[in-house]
Amino acid sequence: MKYLKTYEDRCIGCERCMSVCSLAFFKEDNPAKSAIQVVPKDGGGFKLVVCNQSYRNCVSECPTQAISISKQGVVLINKKLCVSCYSCVAACPIHAMMRHEGGLYPFKCVACGACAKECPADALEIVQEEHA
């Protein structure tokens, strides 16, 4: 399974990952359009909210079967089949299926690695693990 591994203890809260993600997929620097969210923790540090490709509640909750799993284990959304009901957003237990104001479709991390390449603190890494 391919996914974005996070190291929250390394995160410095610069939000560069959010900028890179929104620029890559929406062509604008907008934190609301990032599939990774950097959230301050009470007491210091940061929580990184991003799809880990393992819960997959979104797949079973999609009424049109617009959500599938690639050969690499990445959860993907087929916009041609999506009816924008956002059942997948509600089903995600870690809030990593995203929605933004004015958006036509839900979105999530597809483990592209753009954010990991740009992270100055090495808090992100794309990993490929064999299925157990």
The residues, any chain, with a CB within 8 Å of residue 27's CB and separated by 6 or more, are none
Q: Specify the 3-state DSSP secondary structure of 58.
A: helix
**What pLDDT score was predicted for residue 130?**
77
pLDDT, tens digit, for every residue of 10-67?
999 999 999 999 999 999 999 999 999 999 999 999 999 999 999 999 999 999 999 9
Cα–Cα distances in Å, from 41 out to 9, 13, 46, 49, 92? 11, 11, 5, 12, 20
Cα distance from N-terminal residue to C-terminal residue, the chain: 10
pLDDT, tens digit, for every residue of 72-119?
999 999 999 999 999 999 999 999 999 998 899 999 999 999 999 999
For the 2-125 domain, the top CATH level (class) is: alpha beta
The structure tokens listed for 23 are: 């620029």
**What pLDDT score was predicted for residue 33?**
96
Nearest alpha carbon to residue 124 among 41, 57, 28, 36: 36
